[in-house]
Structure 1
Amino acid sequence: MGRMSMGLGVGFITYVVPVYVAEITPKESRGSFSFANQLLVTSGFAITYAVGTVASWRTLALLAIIPGIVQLIGLFFIPESPRWLANAGRVKEFRAALQYLRGKDADISAEEEEIQASVDDMNNGPKARMVDIFQRKYAYALTVGLGLMFLQQLGGNSGVAYYGSSIIEKSGFPINIGTIVMSLIQIPISAVGVALMDISGRRALLMVSAGGMGISAFLVGLSFVLQGLNLFKKVTPILTVISITGHIGSFAIGMGGIPWIIMSEIFPMSVKALAGTLVTLVNWSSSWMVTYSFNFMMQWSPAATFFIFATGSAATVAFTWKLVPETKGRTLEEIQASMTTLR
């Protein structure tokens, strides 16, 4: 029951937080603000990994109560999304929230008009149903959203994140040292991602991230091949740890957060809840499949397992280059209008 409630909580928050952050931030800094969420998630993972080397899982579970309570209290002090308020017809609160978020001296008239016009267009149409998200006009956005979420997992991050210690142990490297290095590297790498998000754009970071994951996964597979051949016995454990660290770092700089950011940007408000639910379901279902099958794959062939992950990362680079749009510097309304144009 504890794991089930945690799963429900994580499932909700991984969708709601990127959408909320995207809706409250100005277009010039939306990417950095949204990716800051991934930086903090990564920091939490890193702290958990580090503490987990000296504490039991029960202690970790009890310590996790603290940030949960802090977050729950903090939610009473943040403003509601202006776009949600506008959609709910609470015009006075919508304007007050937008003014509060932009600053008391900021001119919000243009942004207010754009949001209100988008909401009016949506409300003039019929209420969206689950079947509506499969209409042709949403096909492009749905393809990008579902594709990125599936490919995010096909690169093997869930397997590496949940079984990183086992991989390091299997390579012959000291497990505590390897786990701490593997976890702490994520924080500075994610910070770089925050800095680059609104400079390089989403597409470039996604391709760099997926490419780095692919190269790292290939090197892990190669190290297991060499280990199986009894070659370079002193080098292969080090190569494994460096490559696993590179895989996790590459994920942190782009693939960890950007698919969630893009998902929060591309769907119109009329179908955002339905499409977001489907996209989140695909992401966590794919994560479950990778996590569940990882041990069986490693027993079958550690090298082949990581060569498969490398192939998945290469597919992500190709998918991003061919289909994923650049959303940097555009308002949500501009992005969504372009995504729903029949292609």
Structure 2
Amino acid sequence: MMQHDSYFIARLFLFFFMSHMIHLLGQFCLQVGYSAPTQSGIVDEVGLAISEFAIFGSILTIGAMVGAVTSGRLADFLGRKMTMRISATICIFGWLSIHLAKSAIMLYFGRILLGFSTGVLSYVVPVFIAEIAPKNLRGGLATSNQLLICSGSSATYIIGALVAWRNLVLVGLLPCVLLLVGLFFIPESPRWLANVGREKEFHTSLQKLRGEDADVSEEAIEIKEYIESLRSFPKARLQDLFLSKNIYVGVGLMVFQQLGGINGVGFYASYIFSSAGFSGKLGTILIGIIQIPITLFGAILMDRSGRRVLLMVSASGTFLGCFLTGVSFYLKAQGLLPEWVPTLALSGILVYIGAYSIGMGPVPWVVMSEIFSINMKAVGGSLVTLVSWLGSFTISYSFSFLMDWSSAGTFFMFSAASLVTVLLVAKLVPETKGRTLEEIQDSLNTRR
């Protein structure tokens, strides 16, 4: 490993921890991990009906869709750092609204604020990481985003099983504060600075990121030449996206990430285990335990095996996990082998979560941050993020109705979507490991 790469990791480690902590407790924990272990407490104390709690769980995605629509423009106009600052501040107000809630309206309002913050961060965090990371570390560093999402999710599953829901809310304030403080010590994205013409700050930022002794002249020239080449193109419009395969890759990955059922499985994890005759509390704790090491393993593999392999292995694993869970509910419905039902359900869900964590969780966001040129990032990234949250809302809200229709059928549908994902990746997704963002664009343009 090169000296400046080691310097880069050491310098940015604290930042990644702080920036992803807000994303982790904003996106995955609030939508999945926070809701799953606190359902009974919120329903009993605030007096929510089951249908109202379903709205509480899924309404975050409404705010996230609004955040997704505005995320690209905000990040391009205000910069990556300022956008994260605003999101962290909004997130604090969202947490406080939930903590002080005495009615469903306050809960909904807090979740919408958290959703907006999450929708913005879903775009800006992976884009920011991709723009500041060296090419040989970009995949692993981007996957650290998912690693810390899983870490926070795991912590929330475990802590949420042990403490009252209002106390769990207070935990969410910590990463918000850490992000706000940490951003004072981290330079802005050099690619964004170059794109808006802030020449001096561009060189200063790039030098800080690569180390004081690193020679950044070649990289700086490559970035500037690429940005200058974009000046001759007209301003990016939504309709321009559909002239490129990139949007179909980004949207396709996000659609099938959601059709694989992650938000249904995560949000209703306790309910799934209980329905299969296994302890809901123990099941959610086990989910929390396995996510971290598996996601860490995926981060290590990201820049070695590549994006495509991880996606296909991951989608194959989510197929197997959903299929096993579907079989367990089929056996239960038919009254067959009742002693096997809890074991199959537990095995299926754990296989599913593990497989998702190694690839289908982090990789679509990494690919999204890599495949769009800097002039198309705002439009393309916002659309892809919006599609992700629209799918998230659809699955999280409809999951309980699907389970009432057919528990086995629900998981068999999810498993079928995972099989289609393998074919999508094999056909459309380019390999981007080991290339600069500018090299990726040159390669994609050549393939058109």
- Where on the TM-score scale, by shorter chain, does this alignment land: which range? over 0.9
Partner residue in 2 for 1:261: 366
- Counterpart of 1:213? 318
The AA in structure 2 aligned to 1:126 is P
How far does residue 334 in structure 1 lie from its aligned partner after superposition? Answer: 1.2
Show the 5 A alignment for 1:62-141. 62-134=170-242, 136=243, 139-141=244-246
3-state DSSP class of the match of 2:395?
helix
User: SS of 2:435's equivalent?
Assistant: coil
- 2:376 aligned residue (271, 275, 280): 271
Larger deviation: 278-287 or 72-81? 72-81
- Displacement, 1:123? 2.0
1:289 to 388, 394, 416: 394
Give 1:142's aligned residue: 247
1:331 alignment partner in structure 2: 436
Q: Secondary structure, in 3 states, of the residue corresponding to 2:163? A: coil
TM-score, normalisation: structure 2: 0.75
Q: 1:314 aligns with which of 419, 434, 437?
A: 419
Q: Distance in 2 between matches of 1:128 and 1:178?
A: 47
Contact 2:327 2:344 in 1 (8 A): no
Contact 2:324–2:347 (8 Å) recurs in 1: no
Mapping 1:153-302, distance limit 5 Å: 153-302=258-407
Deviations 1:258-300 (A, max 9, x none): 0000000000011101111100000000010011110000000
Which moved further from structure 2: 239-248 or 51-60?
51-60
* 1-structure distance, mates of 2:402, 2:167: 31
- What's the CA shift for 1:339? 2.2
* Cα pair 1:210 1:313 within 8 Å, conserved: yes
Amino acid at match of 1:48: T
| Aligned positions of 1:23-34 closer than 5 A | 23-34=131-142
Matching of residue 2 in structure 1 with residue 2 in structure 2: no
The separation in 1 between residues aligned to 2:198 and 2:278, in whole angstroms, is: 59
Residue aligning to 2:4: none
TM-score by length of 1: 0.97
2:335 partner SS: coil
**Contact 1:141 1:340 (C-alpha < 8 Å) held by counterparts:** no
Distance in 1, Cα, partners of 2:170 & 2:447 = 51
Query: Secondary structure of the equivalent of 1:340?
Result: helix
Q: Secondary structure, in 3 states, of the residue corresponding to 1:161?
A: helix
Determine helix, strand or coil for the equivalent of 2:339. coil
Partners of 2:251 and 2:384 within 8 A in 1: yes
CA–CA distance in 2 between the matches of 1:57 and 1:313?
34
Q: Which amino acid counterpart does residue 206 of structure 2 have in structure 1?
A: L
Q: Find the counterpart in structure 2 of residue 20 from structure 1.
A: 128
Q: Which moved more, 1:258-267 or 1:87-96?
A: 87-96
Question: Where does the alignment leave 5 or more consecutive residues of structure 2 unmatched?
Answer: 1-108
Range 120-129 or range 216-225, more displaced: 120-129
Structure 2: distance between partners of 1:19 and 1:246:
29
Q: Secondary structure at the match of 1:14?
A: helix
The unaligned stretches of length 5 or more in structure 1 are none
Separation in 2 of the partners of 1:287 and 1:253? 19
User: Percent identical across equivalent pairs?
Assistant: 51
Return the alpha-carbon distance in structure 2 between the equivalents of residues 298 and 183 of structure 1: 23
Q: Deviations over 1:179-210 (max 9, x none)?
A: 10012110010010011111100000000001
Cα offset, 1:105, TM superposition: 1.2
Contact 1:213 1:313 in 2 (8 A): yes
Give the match's secondary structure for 2:202: helix
User: What is the Cα-based RMSD across aligned positions, in Å?
Assistant: 1.1
8 Å Cα contact 1:23-1:83 kept in structure 2: yes
Mapped partners of 1:339, 1:278: distance in 2: 19
Whether contact under 8 Å (1:218, 1:310) holds in the other structure is yes
Deviation at 1:58, TM superposition (A): 2.0
